A and B are shown apart, each in its own frame.
Chain A
Amino acid sequence: MNFTRKHLLGIRELEAGEITHLLDTAETFRDISRREIKKVPALRGRTVINLFFESSTRTRTSFEIAAKRLSADAVNISVSTSSVSKGETLLDTARNLEAMAPDCIVVRHSMAGAPQHLARMGNAPIVNAGDGSHEHPTQALLDALTIREHKSRIEGLKVAIIGDVLHSRVARSNIHLLTKLGATVSVAGPGTLVPLEFGELVEQGLRVEKTIEDAIEGADVVMILRIQRERQDAAFFPSMREYAVHFGLKPKHLERAAPDAIVMHPGPINRGIEMASEIADGGRSLILDQVTNGVAVRMAVLYLLAGGGHAELDEKGH
């Protein structure tokens, strides 16, 4: 199966086969980062623009390193959304960049649908690097790659997603991906951040649980979400202290999970709030594996979208 789409805007619209193809491609790229010379000429002469309207260290660096390891020229642009709203529109910004003939534009934006807007109105392939509370497809792919690495499968697994589900694009992309590949997902958190209707997000495989204990029961994977203060216009819970006591992941919770359960977090962590430090730094935590796999996944995505996708991998210096 080939990945023939022009853009990567979300996981929701992908077929299971396309997701698997992306993951398989990422796996072949993982080795490159383990070599002494971490560079292949796959995208030599291509230009990737990282257009970030929202602050990011991890994701932007990950895309930049991914592009550079494929020999693409990577340009990073950070724009604060507020300055854009005073002047140039998103579309005009993108059109000006497109006039410089990039092969791919990676977009992060605080507003849901911004990458779709650019994909519809512009010409360059668009990679969604996170749009508001909508999707963060490469995060879900790197999470899946990490799970596959440690569990050797996704189908049949039970995954618990805990925390600020309402505002989380990571949760949405993961739920789409995991349920498409046959896992079951349970979500839980404060009632204000986990609407009862959330179970309708996908056709099947998703349950909204009342308590985080119920969600974690028997889980093979426990994903903890970051509290997205920047997307909360009002107090959705009384205090950080209360959140930590009632919704923070603690060792006792993991006793309910499967004995070999793994723990994940998209970062950055609010230590001692969403997750006890002893878990974040403990043996079950795959947080740094996720970051490592992020580069491989983004290499795969850029490779498939920015022009390398139609040639065979072997011709690209393997």
Chain B
Amino acid sequence: MKLLIANGYIVDPAQGINTGRDLLIEAGRVLGVLERGEERPGGVEILDATGLIVAPGFIDLHTHLREPGAEYKETIASGAAAAVAGGWTSVCAMPNTDPVNDSPAVTRFVIEQAQRAQLANVFPIGSLTKGCGGKELSEMGEMKNAGIVAVSDDGHPVPTAGMMRRAMEYARGFGLTVVDHCQDLSLTAGGVMHEGRWSLILGLRGMPAAAEDVHVIRDCVLARLTGASVHIAHVSTSGALDAVRRAKEMGLPVTCEVAPHHWTLTDDALAEYDTNTKMSPPLRSQNHVTALLEGLRDGTIDAIATDHAPHHADEKNLEFDQAPFGITGLETAVGLAFDLVNQGIIDLEQLVRLCSTNPARIFGLKDRGSLAENAHADVTILDPACEWIFDAATSKSKSRNTPFHGRSMMGAAVATIVGGRVVYLNPNYTRITDAKQRQASA
């Protein structure tokens, strides 16, 4: 059965399409884009996307699904459900599970669990070093054969430049992008928030922006030394962004992502010691937020990634120092990204680049990030005019650790199609599928 997403407005930067077209899908692949007025093939199921944006499926480069090991926080199935509810057709699962994804067995397990869930595509990221321990290289080649799309020790920054050099050189041989959580641990020991005026006021140990800066600069230098593709995870400081900008000017294969909370909130959000404002890298001060917005505007930032990091309420309901780092993000990211569009910082086309086109390119995800003929039929349907309020209680994630509960948003992903199947439909948008019935009764 063919599926026609009709009457929508297709935004696909990879093909340079930004206009009203219909999208025809069959057997999990894109058959083609039809001009308005072009004769529609018979025997198709129709989704009515009138007034909506039809974009290539959004790809989250940075997700923690917690399975295996911490299924009480999230499972691959619950995380995938949250992903598609937030408009993400694909998520890249970080390896810091228990056991760590440092072997093909774990990689295959993650892929199998995702296939059972039948919601989002889940692309595992393998660890750089065994157990994310920063000492021995992990079996990147074997994991690549099993299905990993990148390598990272996210959350456990590789402390020594020597080890990182080896990891980059080795990953380069397999065409795997090295993703690094950049934090000089010797500068952040004991730190629980951004170091600055607010850490002094609150008496909490700070993590200086410099800890991120020196690590990003190190990685850029090592990218030049090794020729490896390096992707800087969740950039949060002006200095880190400057380093990436310089690396790009030098033609180095360096890319970066930003997480929505880092451009949306500042460190004064911690004033009441709410542990749902505790994450790493931490919420920064306004000057860093301003720099991130500039990086989004000028294109230095390649991707928007959620850093979805679910934690159980019991773990977050502790003293600030004791609570774990991280917040959920899959269901709020697109709404927060629309803030950027609504404020005129980026246009809709750039939003699609940041959430789909570029992520697919950075991890080399074949036939994704575009609605070109024969691409995977992963589609995110957006309504820029959708006004909504995020209610954490309705989240599909198993966890509720978000600072965005109750936040008003303007713009949402209202339907998510993965491999040609509608896996999420906002309950207020049944008109999209009503067309199906009309078609059937006609």
Contacts and interface: CB of A to CB of B under 8 A. Distances in A.
A31 interface: no
B320 A195 contact: no
Interface residues of B, number: 18
Interface stretch (A19-27, A84-92, A138-146): A84-92
A245 interface: no
Contacts of B185: none
Given A172-B203, A197-B197, 14 more contacts: A90-B319, A91-B317, A91-B318, A111-B322, A112-B203, A112-B204, A114-B319, A117-B318, A132-B204, A132-B321, A134-B202, A134-B204, A172-B200, A233-B189
Given A197-B197, A201-B197, A233-B189, A117 B203 contact: no
A197 B190 CA distance: 19
B200 A201 contact: yes
Contacts of A134: 202-204
A132 B200 CA distance: 12
A109 B272 CA distance: 16
A3 interface: no
Contact of A201 (B201, B272, B314, B317): B201
Contact of B272 (A90, A116, A172, A197): A116
Q: Which 4 A-B pairs have the closest CB atoms?
A: A134-B203, A113-B273, A133-B203, A112-B203
A121 B317 contact: yes
A60 interface: no
A67 B197 CA distance: 36
A111 B197 contact: no
A200 B200 contact: yes
A112 B273 contact: yes
A195 B201 CA distance: 12
B200 A198 contact: yes
A213 interface: no
B196 interface: yes
B272 A120 contact: yes
Contacts of B200: 172, 195, 197-198, 200-201
B201 A85 contact: no
Interface string B253-285: 000000000000000000011000000000000
B201 A111 contact: no
Q: How large is the interface on A (under 10, 10 to 19, 20 to 34, 35 or more residues)?
A: 20 to 34
A274 interface: no
Interface in B342-391: none
Which of B196, B203, B320 is packed against the most chain A CB atoms within 10 Å? Answer: B203
A33 to B, nearest CB: 31
B319 A12 contact: no
A233 B189 CA distance: 9
Interface in B190-217: 190, 196-197, 200-204
B197 A200 contact: yes
Given A197-B196, A200-B197, A112 B202 contact: yes
A158 interface: no
A112 B321 CA distance: 8
Interface in A58-105: 85, 89-91
Nearest to A168: B203
Interface string A255-289: 00000000000000000000000000000000000
Interface of B: 189-190, 196-197, 200-204, 272-273, 314, 317-322
Interface string A186-219: 0000000001011011000000000000000000
Contacts of B204: 112-113, 132-134
Contacts, number: 64
Nearest to A115: B273
Contacts of B202: 112-113, 134
A169 interface: yes
A112 B320 contact: yes
A9 B314 CA distance: 24
Which of A114, A121, A169, A198 is packed against the most chain B CB atoms within 10 Å? Answer: A114
A164 interface: no
Nearest to A120: B272
A220 interface: no
10 contacts: A91-B317, A112-B204, A112-B273, A120-B272, A132-B203, A133-B203, A133-B204, A135-B203, A169-B203, A233-B190
Interface string A165-190: 00001001000000000000000000
Nearest to B205: A133
Given A89-B317, A90-B319, A131-B203, A116 B197 contact: no
Which of A89, A112, A201 is packed against the most chain B CB atoms within 10 Å? Answer: A112
Contacts of B273: 112-113, 116-117
A112 B322 CA distance: 11
A90 B318 contact: yes
Contact of B319 (A109, A198, A201, A234): A109
Contacts of A85: 322
B184 to A, nearest CB: 15
A12 B317 contact: no
A201 B317 CA distance: 27
A193 to B, nearest CB: 12
A138 to B, nearest CB: 16
Nearest to A200: B197
A91 B196 CA distance: 29
A96 to B, nearest CB: 15
B197 to A, nearest CB: 4
